[in-house]
Amino acid sequence: MAARVGLPQQALLASALARSPSPSPARLPYPPLLRLPTYCRFFSASADAGLQNLRRRLPFAARAMSQRSEAAGSPYAAELAAAKKAVSLAARLCQTVQQEIEQSDVQSKADKSPVTVADYGSQILVSLVLNMEVTTGSFSMVAEEDSEDLRKDGAEEILERITDLVNETLAEDASFNILLSQEGILAAIDSGKSEGGPSGRHWVLDPIDGTKGFLRGGQYAIALALLDEGKVVLGVLGCPNLPLSSINNLNGSSSGDQVGALFSATIGCGAEVQSLDGSPPQKISVCSTDNPVNASFFESYEGAHTMHDLTGSIAEKLGVQAPPVRIDSQAKYGALARGDGAIYLRFPYKGYREKIWDHAAGAIVVTEAGGLVTDASGNDLDFSKGRFLDLDTGIIATNKQLMPSLLKAVQEAIKEKDQVPSPL
């Protein structure tokens, strides 16, 4: 049985590892001690236990090998493989929670937005996998959640629920022979407190992008990206409810039976999609239409996330005939990247500050698929300034052929809206 691990046990386990004989590489394919997070230690009691873990891991190991093949020549190949593994594991926990979510699994944050046990559990698993799998350099992660509410009186039940969910997911996967204590759970969540910035490497995570969609049983995404010296160099989007084939209606569903898409992109290597259960990755590209009449556009399902009257005006100026496809989360970026639609529009109400985790992974998936992602003035998005994006008005994405006419329509629509007197 794996030992439950928390901060007070660090020194004890480190000492035990130092005294324990190393298992034979032929029998245990992964080294017993990788670059470890501060809140846990991996410990294999014997070579026999290692062999049993190997047998349980073989299906996943085969999938991981296929995932590494496409970007094998990239300097970020190891990071991409780890990111895919982390997002896939987090998606498994999220699927479990969404199928049986309880009222007690949902809390309200200070800004009145919802947060669930799955948001926390996803962040914990991603942090753990990245720490265990990426063995070079210091670890820095910019993530949405923190443990403040879980440390308050009255949060004991939800903290216990998160702990159980994480440990059950780890046990089912069997890639890591560890359990986390509640203290370890809190520390893992808080590993995402980095401020990011223009120097060094920083992982950027939204553990569940589209929590309201998640609660509705709709679309959501686990969105993970890597910043290197201020530039997004890889991104992974896990979209458990997105059809693996193209979507064809306003709810983002399809007539096909298979759902669960994993999008990935590495700078200079293109973008791919595969099933969350590990099918071979397939190259994707944005649609090539140059006629707005034949285009369709994505926007947020939630009216609070984008001004539907403004996006409607933009579509009218372009001559778009199709109704908007409204789905939650960065699943829109993935769908756009594989050509399900031609345009993505996001125009939040004034005063809203975009966070880097809401766009970093999706933006590189689209750009590596041949598209363009800019603000309303045509400027590239700058992810190097910390946890927020400083940009002009909104975010748009499309192919290179449509971008000039889209920018023109956007700027005209914004100008007209600004000239309309406020009803107040």
State the binding site for Mg(2+): 144, 206, 208-209, 358
258 in Cβ contact with 78 (< 8 Å)? no
Q: Catalytic annotation on 136?
A: no
If we measure between CA atoms, which residue out of 292, 368, 298 comes closest to residue 340?
298
SS3 273: strand
Which residue is it, tokens 């990239």? 74
Instruction: Report the DSSP pairing between strands 271-275 and 4-5.
Output: unpaired
Residues paired with residue 41 on neighbouring β-strands, in sequence order: none
Q: Which residues are annotated as a binding site?
A: 144, 206, 208-209, 358
Question: Do residues 367 and 398 touch, judged by C-beta distance below 8 A?
Answer: no
Nearest-10 Cα torsion for 235, 238, 243, 245 = 30
SS3 84: helix
Identify the active-site residue in 116, 163, 169, 211: 211
**362: which 2 tokens?**
């999706």
- Long-range Cβ pairs for the range 400-404 (8 Å, 24+): 400/370, 400/371, 400/372, 401/288, 401/289, 401/290, 402/289, 402/290, 402/292, 402/295, 402/342, 402/343, 403/372, 403/374, 403/378
Catalytic residue among 119, 173, 328, 340: 119
119 is catalytic: yes
Q: What is the C-alpha to C-alpha distance for residues 235 and 190, in angstroms, rounded to an integer? A: 21
Q: Are strands 179-180 and 4-5 parallel, antiparallel or unpaired?
A: parallel
Active site amino acids: 119, 211
